[in-house]
Amino acid sequence: MPRRSSVRSGKADRVLPGDAEERERIRNWFRLDVIILGGVILVVAYLAVTPLAMLLYGSLRSGFLVGDGEFTFANYVLAYTDREFYALLFNSLVYALGVSFLTFLIGTALAWICERTNTPGQRLFAMMAVTNYIIPGVLLTISWILLLSPRIGFFNTVLMKLFGLSEPPLTIYSYWGMIWTASLHLYPLTFLMMSAAFRSMDGSLEEAAWTAGASHLGCLRQITLKILRPAVFSGVLILFVRGIESFEVPALIGIPARIFVFTTKIYEAASGFPPALGLAGANAATLLLISILGVYLYQRLAVREGSFATITGKGYRPRVIDLGRWKYLVSAGCALFFIITLLLPALALLGTSFSGYLVALSPEAFKNFSLAEYRFVLSYPIITRAFRNSLILAAGSATAVMFLTSIIAWITVRTQIRGKWMLDALAFSPIAIPGVIMGISMIFVYLTLPIPIYGTLWILLVAYVTLYMPYGIRVASATMLQIHRELEEASTTSGASWTQTFFRIVLPLLLPGFFAGWIYIAIISLRELSASIFLVGQGTEVLSTVVFALWDSGNITAVAALGVLMTLMLVAAALVIQRWQRRLGILRE
């Protein structure tokens, strides 16, 4: 899209010389515009820069909270000379690599089946494939602990009975357990990315291969995946970053399995007594470096991807592959996959929520039927308060993010302000900040600066807004690009001020995209755990931290009951959104 005229040149174009009134109005318009834009730039810069600056500052000081503070490299020395450090690095890399590959396998296989084949039930499968992303990671992890525990896990008891084993064959407390659980949580991302890639790829090379007599599988391996290589690489890379920054699985499974990764080490150092915040900061800086490197490479790849130009705007859909009789087998395989990964975890939660204490998932678990845990969950003030807090934060962060990013998108798409790319980059930069790091940085910031928001919902809101700004900016820019500037020009020529134009023309046009982004951010805010866990206090508990705390205190039956309620709530919300989206025809990000 051409971006011919800027705000400034637009003014020059239209103002007739001698028309003093008009000039005056434009001057005012221009001034307010500068105030709002300037304000937004300041806010974004503050949000993106202070956490990292203070993280660096905190990691370079001794005795944060305890003892006298002075400038020191001791935290880094301590972190890098700790014999545990290399184990941490190794564990983190193995875990993140495992997650990215397994996630890639599951996501791509499902995407291929749903997009490119004539497998019966593929539409249902496509819907189920994204369901796991809605469910908070902490709940998914807990349900897999219930299923794969060495002695009481459902799979182990079944396998032991079937094959007459004396020892449980599986355990969740291992690398495999961690990778499996995290992959089940993250594969919807690969699924969505690969589905989009499969849908829009150029099919002519495949046609050529088939004509030359290649088999379907051979074609998939040798042609299709090679065409999609840029998408594949960047997908694996971004999942590596997601894996290395994940917290739920390493905390709930890794710690008991004695497999420590960066995120859990940071959490342990920061929350134990005496708190070693400096050491946590030093480890956080290392993790951040890895994450930034990953995101940077991803961006580079994404740019290069354009040069392959295998995904074009041709009005052309790749051919649907007829699997013949195999399609029933594939369909049954998918059904089994979803029974194992969706139905059984849900049943495990449900079974536990109905029994008085932790039991193995078996018919007996349902014999002890009682609704006591639900009564407890619904009557316990902290839990009801957490429901309220979570909803407030989800709505607040979604609104703030979309509002901020709409203005930023307007600036970057519509104006020629110098250095606007920097604004875009600033707003997008928190994508590389893991939640754990955001949590610890917020502590550094608000225990140092005289802004009294520690211990209030505001600190959580600031953390969420910063973390989710990147998602907002992507949606807002994409939407903004679709709106032609004529509409704004029409508004200004009819004498509307900049604010009037923005609020009465631009925002309403942005609304559908705005909504889609709003809902997405609200859902991911509801799931957020890794930053919140550092920041919640009395009165500011959120749902995910309450689940974590209930699990921590061993109150597993209450966790299960709360989990069932949360899952119902989120799935209901997702269904409403889906219907809504269809009606509004919102673009799907």
Partner 1 sequence: MVVRILTLFFLLTFFLFSSSLRAQESGALEEGAGKEGRLNLYGSIREDEAKAIFDTFEKKYPKVKIDYFRSSEDKLVSKILAEAAAKTYNFDVLITTAAYHLKKLGMALKWTPPSAAGIRKDLTDPEGMTTPVYINTNVIQYNTNLVQKADIPKSYEDLALPKWKGKLCLEDTDFEWFTELQDVMGKEKALNLFKKISANQPAVRNGHGLISDLVAAGECPIAINNYGNQVARAQKKNAPTDFVAINPVVTIVAPAVVSKNAPHPNAAKLYVNWITSKEGQEFIVKNGGRIPVRADVEADPPRLTKGLKLRVAKNLEGKELTDAQALFRQIWQGR
- Compute the least distance from the CB of residue 98 to partner 1, in Å: 20
Tokens found for residue 422: 């920097």
The backbone torsions φ and ψ at residue 201, rounded to the nearest 5 degrees and listed phi first, read -75, 160
Choose between 446 and 498: whose C-beta lies nearer to partner 1.
446
Task: Please report whether residue 81 would count as binding partner 1 according to CB under 8 A.
Answer: no
* Segment interacting with partner 1, rule: CB under 8 A, options 53-61, 203-211, 265-273, 325-333: 265-273
Using CA atoms, how far apart are residues 361 and 264, in angstroms rounded to an integer? 29
Give me the 328-367 binding string for partner 1, x by CB under 8 A, dash otherwise: ----------------------------xxxxx-------
Choose between 423 and 533: whose C-beta lies nearer to partner 1.
533
- Compute the least distance from the CB of residue 86 to partner 1, in Å: 11
Using CA atoms, how far apart are residues 341 and 357, in angstroms rounded to an integer? 24
Q: Which of residues 525-584 bind partner 1 (CB under 8 A)?
A: 537-539, 549-556, 558
Choose between 357 and 369: whose C-beta lies nearer to partner 1.
357
Task: Please report whether residue 87 would count as binding partner 1 according to CB under 8 A.
Answer: yes
* Segment interacting with partner 1, rule: CB under 8 A, options 26-34, 306-314, 375-383, 579-587: 375-383
- Compute the least distance from the CB of residue 64 to partner 1, in Å: 9
The backbone torsions φ and ψ at residue 45, rounded to the nearest 5 degrees and listed phi first, read -60, -40
Choose between 104 and 260: whose C-beta lies nearer to partner 1.
260
- Compute the least distance from the CB of residue 147 to partner 1, in Å: 12
* Angle at 537 (CA atoms; ends 428, 472), nearest 5 degrees: 20
Output b/e per residue, 188-210; b: 16+ Cβ within 10 A: bbbbbbbbbbbebbebebbeebb
Q: Which of residues 159-188 bind partner 1 (CB under 8 A)?
A: 167, 173
Output b/e per residue, 337-356; b: 16+ Cβ within 10 A: bbeebbebbbbbbbbbbbbe
- Compute the least distance from the CB of residue 110 to partner 1, in Å: 32
Q: Which of residues 452-491 bind partner 1 (CB under 8 A)?
A: 452, 454-455
The candidate with the shortest Cα–Cα distance to 434, out of 232, 550, 569, 291, is: 291
Tokens found for residue 379: 């009557």
Residue from the set 258, 418, 583, 588 that interacts with partner 1 by CB under 8 A: 258
386 exposure class (CB count in 10 Å sphere: 0-12, 13-18, 19+):
buried
Using CA atoms, how far apart are residues 30 and 35, in angstroms rounded to an integer? 9
Choose between 121 and 275: whose C-beta lies nearer to partner 1.
275
Residues ≥6 apart with Cβ < 8 Å to 8: 416
The one-letter amino acid code at 537 reads: G
**Computed from CA positions of residues 400, 406, 412, 414, in that sequence, does the dihedral angle turn out positive or negative?**
negative
Residue from the set 17, 274, 324, 495 that interacts with partner 1 by CB under 8 A: 274
Choose between 223 and 253: whose C-beta lies nearer to partner 1.
253
Choose between 445 and 469: whose C-beta lies nearer to partner 1.
445
C-alpha atoms less than 13 angstroms from C-alpha of 511 in its C-beta half-sphere: 6
The candidate with the shortest Cα–Cα distance to 571, out of 178, 183, 139, is: 139
Residue from the set 1, 12, 65, 340 that interacts with partner 1 by CB under 8 A: 65
Task: Please report whether residue 374 would count as binding partner 1 according to CB under 8 A.
Answer: no
Task: Please report whether residue 400 would count as binding partner 1 according to CB under 8 A.
Answer: no
Q: Where does this chain bind partner 1 (CB under 8 A)?
A: 65-66, 84, 87, 149-152, 167, 173, 255-256, 258, 260, 270-275, 356-360, 376, 380-382, 443, 446-447, 452, 454-455, 537-539, 549-556, 558
